Amino acid sequence: MDVVDIEVGDDVDVRIWEGLRRCSELMVLLTPISIDRRWIWIEIGGAWAQGKRVVGVVQGMSVDELLRQVDVPLALRRKDLVDINEVDRYLGQLKRRGTGANRP
């Protein structure tokens, strides 16, 4: 979700929960600024609680730097962290999942 999806007066918690319920997976951009915002971690926890795939895309720092700065929760394990320079690999996988190309 983005600020354009949440209007003035909306209940932010409800809008985020609705968005998480409708999605099949969550990609979250983790930057030196975003990791200090509580909504990022709430969204990650909400997606994880619903059994959704959660992928963190790291920008502005390395994965190792992120892991040193933040106690990354179980919902976002190291294998689910992608450097922004490798995001094409994730997007290719996402496209295959969306088209069912990986299904037997």
pTM: 0.76
Taking the chain (104 residues) in consecutive chunks of 10 residues, what is each chunk's mean pLDDT?
A: 65 78 89 89 88 92 86 73 90 83 53
In a domain, 94, yes or no: yes
In a domain, 2, yes or no: no
Task: Find the domain containing 34 and state its range.
Answer: 12-99
In a domain, 7, yes or no: no
Contacts of 72 (CB under 8 A, 6+ apart): 56, 66, 78, 81
In a domain, 54, yes or no: yes
Q: Please tell me the predicted confidence (pLDDT) of residue 101.
A: 58
Q: Please tell me the predicted confidence (pLDDT) of residue 19.
A: 80
Q: Please tell me the predicted confidence (pLDDT) of residue 33.
A: 92
C-alpha dist (Å) from residue 91 to 21, 55, 64, 80, 82: 21, 11, 22, 13, 11
In a domain, 5, yes or no: no
Q: Please tell me the predicted confidence (pLDDT) of residue 100.
A: 63
Return the CATH number at 43: 3.40.50.300
Tokens found for residue 76 = 């976002």
**What is the tally of structural domains in the chain?**
1
Q: Please tell me the predicted confidence (pLDDT) of residue 61.
A: 93
